[in-house]
Amino acid sequence: MIKISEIRILPNLKCLLLFCLTILFAGVQVSCQRGGGKEEFNTNEEDNKVRDKVSIDEIEEGIKAYIEQEKARNDGFFLVNDEKRELRLKLVRVHTEYLSNLGPSRHFACVDLADEKGDVYDVDFFLEGEPGNMKVTETSLHKLNGKPRYSWKQMVDKTWRRVPVKESSKDLLGVREGTDKFDFFYRATLPKISSKAKVWIPIAKSDNYQEVQVKSIKAPGKQSMVEEKEFGNTILVLDLNTSHSGQEIEVVYEVIRKEKVPYTETDGNLRRYLEPDLLLPVGGRFKEIAQEAIKGKENDGALVHARALYDYIIDNMRYMKFGTYGTGSADFACDSKTGNCTEFHSFFISLARSIDIPARFAIGASIPSERNEGGIDGYHCWAEFYAEGKWWPVDISEGNKYTALATYYFGRHPANRIELSKGRDLKPEPMPNSGPINFLAYPLMEENGEILYPKTTFSFNRIN
């Protein structure tokens, strides 16, 4: 267990009131990945009584205000003392989906903070006391650049214990094997609209690995369901006006998902998956890097070559949300050797295509494996490559985070996920004035040629 020294708390800060009054989830959520607190703690239902409720937005604002006050006292940095050094950090984001109440006077939150080098620390905060008189009793460094230092396991007596990653089972590291069944809630809030606008929203489809039932769609404006022909995506298009400002979009699914393994497919258009996309160049330096990665294995076939590229990316990239990450630019990934899942898989696709291995992109969400309901930490994407007559699933960013599962994620996607769309540079009809859609997970909104970003959240409820 990695512990960080106690942080000083001023007793009567208004922001602490908001920081400590949290929303009680129907189930127990206690850490950015699971539950959190001390080495062992109890979460009996009778303890989970929330005195008051405030909105998630208010809690988030309170945490931000507290961090800003601490930064003002420390030359613009939030200070955390690791066992070996003092970390000078700045706020990246608050995990609002994981704020929770551990009992009448015990509370939890987690926050992403970055240091001056760009390393991102996922820090768990644990507090005790009454509103207005709270103190931080423990902080715990859960992740560094997305890689966990520990996981949590619920015991028979309903207590939670910290488990070293090397001793964690697959379900504690994000994997559900076999099948998974859950309701998935896709929600977005429209920003202020000054004139006519359009929104493009992916609608998940059934295939051999996921059975999708759309239980309900609630959306304003004129609705039309269109098919994007090249990759077969279904997209909901909304025509909006000023009266729709601030309104809500909600799509509710029931999903039965199977663990994905290498599979055959009748679609013979492999040539498409060797061509470049706007942010996925082919050839040039990508071919040089790929050829270097497979050096000495040139005659071993596409499967061996793909594994060499997979290992190269795991060895040479860091999962780090820093700079202009999240666009899925293979050039950015190649230059910075950092990024989130979009950069990891874009880099892989460019390398693979550059040595004649067909590869393709898909995006959706990863459903937490270790709890049965609550918020989801945004979208997740992955890739597939073609070798030995089959499409092989890979998830390189997860293999990078959990080295114990690097072999699993080469040829497997777990059951706990939903796929929302496939492909890059999507060209639905009507198409945005800004051009092809880079990839589609969150709603794409366009007003007078300007791209807007509705606030989007995902959540789920597992069906047992």
Give the residue from 168, 201, 231 where a domain finishes. Answer: 168
Question: Which residues, including other chains, have CB under 8 Å from residue 277's CB and lie 6 or more apart?
Answer: 424, 425
Residue 167: per-residue pLDDT: 64
233 close to 440: Cβ distance less than 8 angstroms: yes
Nearest-Å Rg of the Cα atoms of the chain is 23
Residue 202, domain member (yes or no):
yes
pLDDT of residue 264: 92
- DSSP type of residue 25: P
Range with the lowest mean pLDDT among 1-10, 160-169, 418-427? 1-10
User: Do residues 13 and 134 share a domain?
Assistant: yes
Judge whether 95 lies within some domain.
yes
Number of Cβ within a 10 Å radius of residue 172: 21
401 lies in some domain: no
DSSP 147-209: EESEEEEE-TTSEEEEEEGGG--GGGGT---SEEEEEEEEEEE----SS-EEEEEEE----SS
Name residues whose C-beta falls within 8 Å of residue 312's C-beta, 6 or more positions apart in sequence: 289, 293, 351
How far apart CA 281 and CA 406 sit, in angstroms, is: 26
Mention every residue, 6+ apart, whose C-beta is less than 8 A from residue 134: 9, 11, 16, 19, 20, 107, 127, 128
pLDDT reported for residue 96: 62
Residue range 298-340, pLDDT digits in tens = 988 899 999 999 999 999 999 888 788 999 999 999 999 999 9
Same domain, 142 and 26: yes
Dist. CA 60–CA 29, nearest whole Å: 17
Does a structural domain hold residue 197?
yes
Can you tell me whether residue 330 is helix, strand or coil? helix
Residue 136: what pLDDT? 66
Say if 140 falls within a structural domain: yes
Lowest mean pLDDT across 106-115, 267-276, 433-442: 106-115
| 188 and 132 co-located in one domain | no
136 in the same domain as 55: yes
**Residues 27 and 115 reside in one and the same domain:** yes
Distance between CA atoms of residues 126 and 140, nearest Å: 8
**Alpha-carbon span 388 to 381, nearest angstrom:** 24
Q: What is the pLDDT of residue 166?
A: 67
Q: Are residues 194 and 164 in the same domain?
A: no
Band the pLDDT of 44: cuts 50, 70, 90: very low
Residue from 390, 410, 388, 360 nearest 302 by CA: 388
Question: What is the per-residue pLDDT across 418-445, written as a single tens digit (0 to 9) for each?
Answer: 999 999 999 999 999 999 999 999 999 9
pLDDT for position 371: 86
Angle at 140 between CA 134 and CA 143, to 5 degrees: 135
**Secondary structure class of 234 (helix, strand, coil):** strand
Q: Is residue 46 domain-shared with residue 157, that is, in the same domain? A: yes
Cβ neighbors of 268 (< 8 A, separation 6 or more) are: none
463 pLDDT band, cuts 50/70/90, is very high
- What the block records as the tokens of 347 is 């880099």
Same domain, 74 and 199: no
Buried b (16+ CB within 10 A) or exposed e, 287-305: bebbeebbeeeeeeebbeb
Q: How confident is the model at residue 403 (pLDDT cuts 50, 70, 90)?
A: confident
**DSSP designation for 321:** -
Q: At what angle do helices 341-354 and 302-316 cross, to 10 degrees?
A: 140
Give one word for 378, left, alpha or beta, with left for phi > 0 and alpha for psi -120 to 50: left
Which of the listed residues 168, 203, 226 is the one where a domain comes to its end? 168
Examine the fold and report which residue of 121, 136, 168 is the final residue of a domain before the chain moves on: 168
* Predicted local confidence at residue 32, as pLDDT: 45
By DSSP bridging, strand 318-319 and strand 338-339 are parallel
For 166-176, what is the mean pLDDT? 70
Give the helix/strand (H/E) hosting 215. strand 210-218
Q: In this model, does residue 23 exceed pLDDT 70?
A: no
DSSP element (H, E) containing 204: none
Structure tokens at 356: 């004649």
**Which residues are bridge partners to 100 per DSSP?**
108
Q: What's the mean pLDDT in 260-268?
A: 85
Q: State whether 164 and 120 are in the same domain.
A: yes
Single-letter amino acid code for the residue at 381: C
pLDDT band at 151 (very low <50, low <70, confident <90, very high): confident
Query: Which tens digits make up the pLDDT trace of 208-252?
Result: 999 999 999 999 999 999 999 999 999 999 999 999 999 999 999
Retrieve residue 354's tokens.
């550059």
Count of CB atoms within 10 A of residue 197's CB? Answer: 22
- Residue 277: how many other CB atoms lie within 10 Å: 21
Whole-number average pLDDT of the chain: 82
Residue 52 included in any domain: yes
Summarize pLDDT for 345-369 with one digit per residue, the tens: 999 999 999 999 999 999 999 999 9
| CATH (domain of 452) | 2.60.40
CB 83 within 8 A of CB 103: no
By residue range, what is the domain housing residue 78? 3-168
Q: Give the other-Cβ count within 10 Å of 234's Cβ.
A: 17
160 shares its domain with 28: yes
How far does the chain reach from its first CA to its final CA, in angstroms?
32
In the 8-state DSSP scheme, what is residue 406?
T
Residue 153 pLDDT level (bands cut at 50, 70, 90): low
Mean pLDDT across the stretch 36-62? 49
Number of structural domains found in the chain: 2
Do 206 and 86 sit in the same domain of this protein? no
User: Of 38, 31, 193, 163, nearest to 100 (Cα)?
Assistant: 31
Closest residue by Cα to residue 219 from 247, 184, 252, 191: 247
Band of residue 60 on the pLDDT scale cut at 50, 70, 90: low
Mean pLDDT of 405-411: 88
- Confidence category of residue 58, pLDDT binned at 50, 70, 90: low
d(C-alpha 337, C-alpha 214), whole Å: 39
Pick the closest to residue 326 from 316, 338, 335, 334 (CA basis): 338
**Residue 236 belongs to a domain:** yes
| Domain-embedded: residue 98 | yes
Distances (CA, A) of 173 to 376, 398, 407: 15, 9, 14
On whether both 125 and 195 belong to a single domain, the answer is no
